[in-house]
Chains A and B, each alone.
Chain A
């Protein structure tokens, strides 16, 4: 039973329930790999000792628990009771919540065991996991001899799933933070509809865009995990009161007759040929599955990123005002209160976070609000309308997940705009609040994974999961990782 960590979430839980192996055996195999994978720098905190105690309490008879015995690490943006939660920032370096986020509580309620907190970009701001106070996360995929970024902000999550350090995980996605790293590491990432999962207890980045979602080895796992974490929460005024869905049970690869939209505006300038080819392959696969392909137009696509880079920093500048050194977190000294604030926030936040706070402060400030923030809110409406119109004709939209495969460290670090362009295909779904799924299709000539994205109607995660499932059956993607770091 050495390779228990190769199993998917569904296989793991089934194995435990059918007593093929014990939860402790599963945990040990992950522990073993985690210990030998420090180089990837996925974990900020490990809770394996606590997990070993918890696992003994598991009652294998509890067949009704969807995640029975599953060892799961989560992004360090979810507050976990009595376990340090840092948001990968110095300013929360030693913060230990006394409360548990709604989403993670749902995992434990279904029998999963916390094994650690995963590295990410600081306050989820970044697309390469290079902004973490706890250092870069390394992608288990490599470009020849060179290491690569895992993407961000849920880079630790992506690398950990890809390298079999957790059976599955939950990340958060504000502009692509689940889907882009999933694409860079060859795993499945799902951003649910805005309001599908509770934001309560998740360190906020941009409240109107943030959404938690599953990052898994395959589509089945994604459906199962979404089923567990979804649901209305009366503690979150923006969570939506809608019927719960049985995504896993209802998973079906029958997509015959389904209408798929191909938005022409996603064929961007300088798009690498391999991405263009990938997209064409995806279209062919869907045609083979009996879907109908339609060319559609989402005319405001090119304005999505500029809109995002006004709205997200604006909300962030306010959401991050609470990190002031008074009630928790890092504090620097100062002669008076104001100086304490300024020193604390100057040294407690990293450069990218400060950049975004300052941009956000500027676009909300008097005299600039209308020109930037209000303008962005209006364009956001136009972007949403584009989708509303398209979804009258099609059931799902197919696009590439990212404009390129994973890149090298330092490549874009000093040029914020080229970094931001990573999210060009993912950010629209956040602005319009739509569910979107990234799934790996194939490896490129350098053996790096390439992924496609499926965008669905609000609350229609089932359709994008079904389409993803159909594609997955066709492409039979297998991660090709050599464990070079061990």
Chain B
């Protein structure tokens, strides 16, 4: 919390600040599309999930999916935003091979969700990012350009899938903030189960608006929009590249063209999109095939009442209820699965142990195995059971690490592993005394040295006893007994 914000770019002449706004497109987790009854499942054979409506056959008409409206409202509430009881579906007109109607049904003047905000936990404090709006719209299909030298192939499976476009205010100032913002929005939507946030499958992607200005300037510069970036890393790289490009131009006394650009992930550069040249006049107008959407207060209230606990609320609760640090609570509530996992383990074992083990060995192992909580080899029950073995002194922390490694491999209950491998901690004083006596007998020369003042050798004795006990001797008991015997 003591670091200062420091993302400024030094040009040849001036120090620059980067201004970023995001238009996040989040696919709603619905069974059917926004205006048609065809499936939204990912990964189907091309053109197998396309209805007559999605292919814009003559005479086809849209009918809205109620569930999608509910999800947009839910998400709006999650973004602390105003829900508009009156909204309108508009047509955004442009020609594109994978846009069958020749227009996208979207919301323009009257979106379903208005202004809101999200909070980001940055190393330099909490940063508030304004939300301009959230609106519902249809996704387009997909064009494949690499199958043939002179042709493009069109797959309309995605055509008509429901998207929420979440537009931020130009409040973001660095690639790092953009990363945190995306993670936060994704976390909120995952908590709400309105969007799975899967960026590889394209369920979450963003248009990035970037401009630069000299540090201290109040006015915004001309912005460029980088279309459809589908990973946080690419967004960050694209911002760095684009900001430098704009700074170079401005420092050379040139101006920035307001334009749409494409981020080339292979070359790590942005370039102007020729196809969008004359597409800027979208001729929005209310879709005459649909009526305005008027929401009853009770409809919104019902959704509000059923809202689950959100990341920020959960974080506050974890801090108060479990006495976690802000950092621990932030990490453990970043996604709902982790939070739920933590809470169950903590409730069934010990909060402190659960916190250290989950944030330490558990996360590290998932990382190494490239697994997520949902397919983790270690279940809530087994981890809690392991922590209880530590808590009740049945095994030592050291043995626990070994058992944990074994659990990763055979996914078994640690109690069984401990029993089977005979790893139960030795706390019987008589048994341990026997081992100590043996060790002291075998090392009489060292005992003499110790007694003549070489007290550092104490560690050697402890180690040898534990080793002799095959790691099972309780280190505390060993300590106490050894001290007595050697005095």
Contact = CB atoms under 8 A, between A and B. Distances in A.
B102 A324 contact: yes
B285 A236 contact: no
B55 interface: yes
A79 B95 CA distance: 24
Given A326-B154, A327-B100, A201 B289 contact: no
B253 interface: no
A92 interface: yes
Contact of B289 (A79, A95, A207, A361): A207
| Main SS class of interface, B | loop
B102 A322 contact: yes
B285 A237 contact: no
Interface residues of A, number: 44
B10 interface: no
Contact of B285 (A98, A326, A328, A364): A364
Given A206-B288, A314-B285, A366-B281, A95 B95 contact: no
A87 B57 CA distance: 13
Interface in A185-230: 199-204, 206-208
Contacts of A365: 281, 283
Given A208-B288, A318-B285, A200 B61 contact: yes
A321 B93 CA distance: 8
A196 to B, nearest CB: 16
B58 to A, nearest CB: 5
B295 interface: no
Given A236-B61, A314-B285, A322 B56 contact: yes
Given A318-B103, A365-B283, A203 B289 contact: no
Interface string B38-71: 0000000000000010011111111110000000
A366 B52 CA distance: 31
Contacts of B275: 338
A138 B158 CA distance: 47
A88 to B, nearest CB: 13
B290 interface: yes
B416 interface: no
B101 A322 contact: yes
Contact of A199 (B61, B97, B283, B284): B61
B58 A92 contact: yes
Interface in A243-282: none
Contacts of B102: 318, 320-322, 324
Nearest to A335: B150
B91 interface: yes
A22 interface: no
Interface in A310-351: 314-315, 317-318, 320-322, 324, 326-328, 337-338, 341
Given A238-B289, A321-B103, A326-B100, A99 B57 contact: yes
A79 B285 contact: no
B104 to A, nearest CB: 11
B409 interface: no
Contacts of B1: none
A29 B60 CA distance: 36
B291 A237 contact: yes
Given A235-B63, A321-B93, A337-B152, A361 B283 contact: yes
5 closest Cβ pairs, A-B complex: A321-B102, A207-B288, A364-B283, A208-B288, A201-B59
Interface of B: 52, 55-64, 91, 93, 95, 97, 100-103, 152, 154, 275, 281, 283-285, 288-291
17 contacts: A79-B59, A200-B60, A203-B58, A203-B59, A207-B288, A235-B61, A236-B63, A237-B61, A314-B285, A318-B93, A320-B102, A321-B93, A326-B97, A326-B154, A327-B55, A364-B93, A369-B283
